[in-house]
Structures are given as structure tokens and as C-alpha cells.
Structure 1
Amino acid sequence: MMDARDSTGTAGQLPVAGARSHGRAGASRLGSLLRTAAFLVLTLAVLFAGGFGWFANKVSHLTTPANPAKADAIIVLTGGQSRLDAAMELLASGKGERLLISGVHPSASRRQLQVATGGDKKLFSCCVDIDRAALDTIGNAEESAKWVESHAYGTVILVTNNYHMPRSLLEMGRLLHGAKLEPYPVVNANLENGGWLTKPEALRVLFTEYNKYLLALARGIVPMKPTPDGLALAETAAGG
């Protein structure tokens, strides 16, 4: 027969054993969650790095067309003298009927632009339109869409730098539903064969643009719009 001491001692040990078992189970679950989180973070990091490699490789292989097909119009996004020069050359060679310079600083006059581009004064006067409302690539797309629609253009040559072209086509393509875009990338530096890896400034520009490109892709899933304080959800059509 078990005496009172044996009974009391066994009963006193049961809660301790149960607590230890519960603690081991909790630690096991925590460890599993941490391993899962670490795996997800590693997977995202690999995807991010792989995506950047794809983006940089794609951009570095973009070349300026030697003789692009004629289009109805030309749009150039401001951001560098080489873009403007290329666009004016296309207009002068008859590759488009009119040219829209999108994103011009409000203080810049037509005369200043004409002198800066070195374009023919008569050609600039008759066939160049200026957009001063756009402040970024999203604005470029919005103002360009209005211009294309107002003139009922069917094909448009888009001029911008090679690193900026993927995001520009993405933003423009969302709004220019009735027009075909023909990219005309301007290349300022040879980045082929991994050249961007040995040029810190090129690497910085590509990495920055890659992140902006990812944000542009995300906007296609969760519509966002820029505000003075950052980004905010864009109003849906149903919401007015």
C-alpha cells in the first residue's frame, strides 16, 4: 500500500512536469515560426536580387534604334539634354508629326527650350507642344495620355533614357489604351556585358530605378497616388 508521503510527493511533481512539457512545446513552435520567417526573408531577398539582375541586364541591352519607323507623334520625357536632342532630331527627320515635351519646369520659356535644343525655330514653333504640369513619371503618363487622345494619335515614339524606359512604358501603357508605343531609349553609357557592375554611379542609378519600377508594379495591384505626404490609396471609379 502507498503511504501518505509517496502520494503527496507524486502529486506535487505532476504540475512541474506538465509545465516543462508545455514550455518545450512553446519553444518548439517559436523555433518553427522563426525558421519559417527566416526562410521567407531569404526567399524574398533572393527574388529581389534576381529581379534586379534581370532588370539591369534588360536595361543594359537596350539600344537606340538606328532608323525607327515613322509614327504619328513623338513624346519625350524631360530629365536630360540628350533626350531632348534625340527627340528634336526625330521630329526634324519626319519621324512624327508633332512632339510633346513632357515635364518642363514652369519657369522655362518656349524660347529657352528652343535655344537649348538647338532646334529649327520654325519647326519648334509649329510642331512642338510643352507640358509643364507633370512632376514625375506618373504625371508624364497622365499628361501624355490627354495629349495623345486630343490629337487621336495611333502610334507614338517614346523618348527617354534606357534605364527609365521600363517604368515609363509601364506607366504610359496603363493610360494610352488606344495608342501603340514605340520605345526610343537614349543610351548615354555602354552597360553591356555587366559593365554596370564596375560603374558605381550606373549601379546606383539602376538600383534606384529598379525600386521605383517595383513600386510602379505594386501600384498596378494596389492603386496608389502620390501626395505631398507620400503615397495614398487612389480613389476607385466606384468611389467617384
Structure 2
Amino acid sequence: MKTLSKIIVLLLALGIGALVFGFVLFSVTVTRDDVGGWDKADGIVVLTGGDLRVEAGAKLMNEGRAKRLLISGVNRKVRREEMQRLLGLDAKTFNCCVDLGYEALDTVGNADETRTWARNNGYTKLIIVTSRYHMPRSLAELALVMPKVTLIPYPVTPRHFPETAWWLHSSTTRVLVSEYLKFLPAVARLAAQRVLNWRGDRSVATVGSTSANG
């Protein structure tokens, strides 16, 4: 009985240690300011919910990085005229190439809204704009519903995020902990989906090989 208790305590300690290590790795990754070039794509998708995201999407459009822009999760009270002023795009570009999505209420909704938009436009390569801390979960949710679409992350650093030593700021730490706990089930579902798809592909290949041999 004592041996079993020790094993349980050891497993709990290892589990907690893995969670803590994962959180530190997650936090360091999402607070690091990577600088690099950005590829062009078919479309740009801005996930609302944080400052500077919409402005970043408008900047990419002005640079000609994609054909169209989707702003997913727009508040139903926001009119197109207000959004145009916020984006700072000229009327011609806004009217021809900007779509507003009003259905999404969370990140899962953003993914569904983006999938429908990409499918309707025949897009297979998208630039995703959201806050740095929100990017890992967003990419996981998007990849779940669009496994064959190439996703290019364009992370935005919120104004209130510290440039260094995030652990000294309680508000930032709370945001990171909350986002990390939401990210874990999303990435778990993505991993499970990929394992099932891999096994399915192997099964199909095996059946095809057997049929050919027979």
C-alpha cells in the first residue's frame, strides 16, 4: 500500500512539474518579440478581442500581403462605417476587400467563421493576426477545422504587456496562466485528431496494399 502511495505521489509531482515547465516555456515563447519577414497569403484573418489587432490587419492589407481581410468576432453594434474609420483604409479597398464576421463569440467560433470564409473564397493560405498570448490556442483551433490550410502567424504585442520580466507583473501572469490552461485542451484535441488521421491513413494504405496483392 505504501509503495502504491509513493507511486501516486511521484506521478502527481511529475505531472505538476510538467505543467509548470510547460507554462514557463509557453510564457517565454509568447512574450518573445520575434522579428522577421512575412509571407504573402490568400487572405488575412484578424481575431478580435485585443488591442492593436485590427490596426495590424489594416497594415498588412496596405502592404498588399493578401487579397482579402476577414475581421472575425466583430461586435454586432459596430457598423461598417465605424470599422472603416478604425482600419484607416480607403473606401475602395474597404468595400471590395474587407469582410466583417459577426457570428464568432470565442476562439472556437473564430475558427468556424474563418473556415467558412476561407472555403467560400477558395483560400488555402492565411495570415492569422491576434495577440501573442492568444496565438498558440488560435492556431490549434484553426488547424482543427482547417487541417489542409497553411496558417501564417502574425502575433501582436498588446500595449499593456511588459517587454521583459513578465513574472513580475501579476496582471500579465494571470492572463498567461488563463491562456495556457485554455491552450492545453485545444492542443490535446489537435494532437488526438492528427493521431487518428495518421492511423486512418495507415489503415487505408494497408487495405489498398492488401487488395493490390490479392
Residue type of the partner of 2:42? D
Deviations 1:59-117 (A, max 9, x none): 1224354x422211100000123000000111122111100000111222111212223
Counterpart position of 1:103: 73
Greater C-alpha Rg? 1
Deviations 1:14-57 (A, max 9, x none): xxxxxxxxxxxxxxx2x333222221211111111011011111
Deviations 1:110-148 (A, max 9, x none): 112122233322221111001111111111111101111
Asked if 1:54 corresponds to 2:44, the answer is no
- Gap regions ≥5 residues in structure 1: 1-28, 224-240
Instruction: Give the % identical residues.
Output: 38
Residue type of the partner of 1:208? S
Q: Is residue 64–residue 186 contact of structure 1 (8 Å, CA) maintained in 2?
A: no
Aligned partner of residue 133 in structure 1, secondary structure:
coil
Q: Is residue 108–residue 141 contact of structure 2 (8 Å, CA) maintained in 1?
A: yes
Q: Is residue 73–residue 101 contact of structure 2 (8 Å, CA) maintained in 1?
A: yes
Q: Is residue 140–residue 190 contact of structure 2 (8 Å, CA) maintained in 1?
A: no
Counterpart position of 2:198: none
- Residues 44 and 161 of structure 1: is their aligned pair in 2 closer, same or farther, counting only changes over 3 Å? same
Hey, what's the Cα distance between the residues in 2 that align with 1:169 and 1:80? Answer: 16
Counterpart position of 1:200: 170
Counterpart position of 2:34: 63
Hey, what's the Cα distance between the residues in 1 that align with 2:108 and 2:52? Answer: 21
Give the superposed CA RMSD: 1.9
Residues 1-240 of structure 1 aligned to structure 2 (within 5 Å) = 29=1, 31-63=2-34, 65=36, 67-188=37-158, 189-192=161-164, 195-220=165-190
Instruction: Return the TM-score normalized by structure 2.
Output: 0.82
1:150 CA displacement: 1.1
- Gap regions ≥5 residues in structure 2: 194-214
Instruction: Return the TM-score normalized by structure 1.
Output: 0.74
Kindly tell me the number of residue pairs found equivalent between the two proteins. 191
Hey, what's the Cα distance between the residues in 2 that align with 1:84 and 1:64? Answer: 19
Q: Is residue 114–residue 121 contact of structure 1 (8 Å, CA) maintained in 2?
A: yes
Hey, what's the Cα distance between the residues in 2 that align with 1:109 and 1:199? Answer: 36
Counterpart position of 1:14: none
